[in-house]
């Protein structure tokens, strides 16, 4: 288990980390997600021991390792550029960590063979690194990090240099390895789909602060503020006025009404007060008839066909709404036609602006 307590770091006048508190459970595949410059790589490098904090502590399984050097933390690191030695063979690259520990030659050979088998590259042991593809090099970097039997695996944007097909394959491979070896893994990325597809939990960072921690479904369906909602996937943002409440809260949206499930932090909002509303494009249905969950009538002004989905834009009152249609039929909704748009109360999220 990795516990981070009130961790702060400055680089000159720039606050890279601002009193970060975080707990990563044992065996968890945990993602640090955010835009460039948000502090995610700085936090990872503190966990690895490459940086020393200005304030705060880092604890591994109850032991304070804040000032423990990297080579004594028993962490395996996978870098964005792989950091492999081109003049060495695959097996020599993988063996490096064990050779530094001066283990017996026979033990190193067995461990290297097992590590290469775990990433399905044992047949390439004698190859030079520059003879391998990007995906193969990524697997070698994983094998080298795992061979020392780390208590935690730290990954700094490991798939950013791969093409789309290889990224999908390596996502599954990383998750398989972490599960098989029961590793605690901390994974830095700016790729939302990467995080949503394999993470157990995600922390969203911005300007050195953690804005929200949760499972992929919690982060996506229940964002706490506009930044989180906007960073994870597409979203429509609207301003509405509370008109009343019973089982749901009734919202006035221009000339139409909307219903929403009320989260606990909005339970005391008064009738007549304005709130921010988030609706995901895929939650909006296009219909020919008005329903109790209607957003109103909208005119289709643009369609972008992407194969598995079509992205529509509707003018609905004063608002432009993005609507995603799955398994679209080209030409099914002609541009210029008007349709009713509806969304279920459980798919309407109230947000704090800050």
Tell me the sheet residues that pair with 5.
57
Measured distance CA(243)–CA(256) in Å, rounded: 12
User: Cα–Cα–Cα angle for 61, 64, 65, nearest 5°?
Assistant: 95
Q: CB neighbours of 159 closer than 8 A, spacing ≥ 6?
A: 138, 166, 167, 170, 171, 189, 191, 194
Q: What is the predicted pLDDT for the residue at 295?
A: 83
Tokens linked to 192: 């939302």
Q: Which backbone phi and psi does 105 adopt, to 5 degrees?
A: -60, -45
Reported as a single tens digit per residue, the pLDDT across 185-235 is: 999 998 898 999 999 999 999 999 999 999 999 999 999 889 999 999 899
**DSSP code at position 91:** H
User: Could you tell me the domains of the chain?
Assistant: 2-230 (3.40.50.300), 234-351 (2.40.50.100)
Q: Distances in Å between the alpha carbon of 184 and those of 49, 111, 149, 200, 330?
A: 16, 20, 12, 11, 45
Q: Distances in Å between the alpha carbon of 292 and those of 110, 119, 252?
A: 66, 53, 13
Q: How far is CA 256 from the centre of its chain?
A: 35
Query: What number of other Cβ atoms are within 10 A of residue 183's Cβ?
Result: 22
Query: What number of other Cβ atoms are within 10 A of residue 103's Cβ?
Result: 14
Tokens linked to 128: 């030079």
CB 98 within 8 A of CB 92: no
96: helix, coil or strand? helix
127: helix, coil or strand? coil
User: Cα–Cα–Cα angle for 99, 85, 156, nearest 5°?
Assistant: 95
Measured distance CA(301)–CA(316) in Å, rounded: 10
For the cut 70, the answer to whether the pLDDT of residue 353 exceeds it is no
Q: According to the per-residue pLDDT averaged within each range, which of 118-122, 178-182, 325-329 is highest? A: 325-329
Tokens linked to 323: 């609507």
Q: What is the predicted pLDDT for the residue at 354?
A: 52
Measured distance CA(277)–CA(226) in Å, rounded: 9
Tokens linked to 217: 């479904």
Q: CB neighbours of 243 closer than 8 A, spacing ≥ 6?
A: 250, 251, 252, 257, 271
Portion of the chain with pLDDT greater than 90, in percent? 48
**H-run or E-run covering 48:** helix 40-48
User: Cα–Cα–Cα angle for 194, 260, 280, nearest 5°?
Assistant: 30
Tokens linked to 79: 């870098």
Q: Is the dihedral of CA 159, 165, 171, 176 positive or negative?
A: negative
* Section 51-79 average pLDDT: 93
Measured distance CA(78)–CA(329) in Å, rounded: 43
- Residue, of 172 and 324, whose pLDDT is higher: 324
Q: Quickly state the pLDDT bin for 255 (edges 50, 70, 90).
A: low
E strands within 261-333?
274-279, 285-287, 294-305, 309-316, 319-326
For the cut 60, the answer to whether the pLDDT of residue 325 exceeds it is yes
Reported as a single tens digit per residue, the pLDDT across 259-291 is: 888 777 777 777 888 888 999 999 999 988 888
Q: Which backbone phi and psi does 96 adopt, to 5 degrees?
A: -50, -50
**DSSP code at position 275:** E
Reported as a single tens digit per residue, the pLDDT across 2-54 is: 999 999 999 999 999 999 999 999 999 999 999 989 999 999 999 999 999 99
């Amino acid at each position: 288990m990795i516990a981070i307590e009130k961790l702060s770091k400055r680089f000159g006048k720039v606050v890279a980390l601002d009193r970060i508190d975080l707990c990563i459970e044992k065996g968890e595949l945990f993602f640090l997600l955010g835009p460039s410059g948000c502090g995610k790589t700085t936090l990872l490098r503190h966990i690895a021991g490459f940086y020393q904090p200005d304030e705060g502590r880092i604890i591994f399984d109850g032991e304070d390792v804040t000032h423990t050097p990297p080579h004594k933390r028993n962490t395996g690191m996978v870098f964005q550029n792989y950091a492999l030695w081109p003049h060495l063979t695959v097996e020599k690259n993988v063996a490096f960590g064990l050779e530094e520990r001066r283990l017996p030659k026979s033990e190193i050979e067995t461990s290297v063979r097992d590590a290469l088998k775990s990433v399905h590259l044992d047949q390439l042991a004698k190859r030079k690194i520059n003879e391998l593809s990007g995906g193969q090099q990524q697997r070698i970097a994983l094998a080298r990090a795992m061979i020392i039997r780390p208590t935690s695996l730290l990954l700094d944007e490991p798939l950013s240099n791969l093409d789309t097909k290889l990224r999908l394959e390596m996502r599954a491979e990383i998750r398989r390895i972490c599960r098989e070896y029961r590793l605690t893994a901390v994974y830095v990325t700016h790729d939302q789909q990467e995080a949503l597809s394999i993470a157990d939990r995600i922390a969203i960072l911005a300007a050195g602060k953690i804005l929200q921690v949760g499972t992929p479904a919690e982060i996506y369906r229940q964002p706490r503020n506009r930044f989180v909602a906007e960073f994870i996937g597409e979203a429509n943002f609207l301003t509405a006025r509370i008109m009343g409440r019973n089982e749901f809260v009734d919202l006035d949206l221009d000339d139409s009404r909307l219903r929403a499930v009320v989260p606990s932090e909005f339970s005391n909002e008064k009738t007549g007060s304005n709130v921010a509303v988030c609706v995901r494009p895929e939650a909006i249905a296009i219909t020919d008839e008005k329903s109790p969950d209607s957003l109103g009538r909208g005119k289709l002004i643009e369609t972008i066909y992407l194969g598995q989905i079509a992205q529509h834009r509707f003018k609905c009152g004063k608002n432009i709404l993005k609507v995603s249609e799955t398994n679209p039929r080209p030409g099914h909704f002609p541009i210029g036609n008007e349709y009713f748009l509806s969304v279920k109360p459980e798919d309407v999220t109230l947000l704090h602006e800050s």
